[in-house]
Amino acid sequence: MRALAFAVGLAVASPARADELETWVKARIAAQRGGTAAATPEPPPANLWKEHPRSPPVIPGFVPPTSLAPLVKVVRPGVVNISTNNGGTSHSQGSGFVINPDGLVVTNNHVIERAQDIAVRLPDGRSFSATVAGHDPATDLALLKLANAKGLPTVTLGDSDQLEIGDWVVAIGNPFGLDTSITHGLISARERVLGMGPFDDFIQTNALINPGNSGGPLFDMHGEVVGVTTAIVSQGQGIGFAVPINLVKDLLPNLLENGTPERGWLGLNVRESDAANAPVVVDVYEGSPAAEAGITPGDRVVGIGGKPVSRYQQILRRVALLAPGTAVKLQLERAGKPLVVTATLMARPSVDALRATTAGKIPALGLILKPVDQKSAPGAEAGLLVEAIVPEGAAELAGVAVGDVVIEVNREPVTSLKALDLALAQFEPNEPVLLKVRRGASARYVALKPR
């Protein structure tokens, strides 16, 4: 049986290589049985397994780290200990890092959110009182200003978009009050959504993060900050999360200008598409920055500010981190052709104002409707005129066309937008909707599955 299996294994090789392999196997077995096997035996022929030669580099571009001490010595002076109290008996500790010599420090919002007094201590022993220059609970980021600080050691900010899964990282912080403790690990994942808020975009790492590390820096192997350590999974080990430093860099001007960020608004709704790696616009608000820039339903959003986007969450984050008045370039695709437009963001309108501009628009069904104008068309049947169709939306796929008139929703007559809202309110979000549609002298029922 073994001889047969060995012969089958050699069948894929040439006769000469098969003979060479058989000779090597027999020699190794004889040496092992006779107790004469060498500590470093001759390697096998290449058709059994593959080994790299022991001269570097084994993998091009990869240099195994021998010690992180040189990196730590350079970056450690810019990492700080943050102590707070709320004016009573409650005290807390966290970490942070200095980003400019005049004493701007980045940390987590939850480290300082209820603090009445904030003290910051550097590794060299100097201490400073601090005030909050800006904070954003939605991203759990805060910016502190140290009093009477000059010439402080600083860290260097990197580019978190360049991180790859498997990259080495170092976390420095003050877990349980143990100053500037060092842990290291790998990037385990990117763009993790934890359900903490609308701007979730976390780096996952197995570098140990403990209470007191919050707000501290996550360094790459260039000694640059690529994240702000923020959260851990309490039930697990080696599962920590950091806010990407590029999100921090986008948000900082807004914090410095406004204290608490004013969110930019673009004014469109998109649907993530399985067919292409770019969300498709299904609705554009009247008078919005998107409308002013000429964006229309059916356009695909490929990138914002030169950075690619493939999900709604990415669009939301990139826009909402910028202040109203910011001019943003959007890379689009329209009818298969690339298009670049510039939109100037505005503050998000009130809920009532948004409702007024969305009447008759049903993004989930890919429809824009308005009541039939019976004054201009006497004798026309009452209903809702299909004013626009979203390309690849549920309505288009069901054969609904511009100019059709919707006269029933789930067998209930609809002659006004209020009646439409009442009828649609009876459906679950993903439940198919039955419409009766009139086209000319004929009418038919169509079932639309929300997308």
| Residues assigned a catalytic role | 110, 140, 214
> Which stretches of 216-326 are assigned E, i.e. beta strand?
217-219, 224-232, 240-244, 264-265, 268-271, 280-284, 300-304, 307-308
Contact between 129 and 147 (Cβ < 8 Å): yes
- Both tokens assigned to 106: 């980045």
CA distance 23 to 270: 65
- What DSSP state is assigned to residue 320? H
Burial (CB count <10 Å: 0-12, 13-18, 19+), residue 9: middle
Joined together, the tokens standing for residue 358 give 């969305």
Report d(CA 61, CA 397) in Å as an integer.
Answer: 49
Three-state SS across 350-409?
Answer: CHHHHHHHHCCEECCCCEEEEECCCCCCCCCCCCEEEEEECCCCHHHHCCCCCCCEEEEE
Q: Fill in the DSSP letter of residue 306.
A: T
- The secondary element (H helix, E strand) that includes residue 252 is helix 245-258
Query: For residues 359 and 374, what is the distance between their CA atoms, to the nearest angstrom?
Result: 19
Largest CA distance in the chain: 106
- What is the distance between the alpha carbons of residues 193 and 231, in angstroms, rounded to a whole number? 12
End-to-end Cα spacing for the chain: 58
The residue with tokens 């959003």 is 301
387 closest CA partner among 286, 294, 300, 288: 286
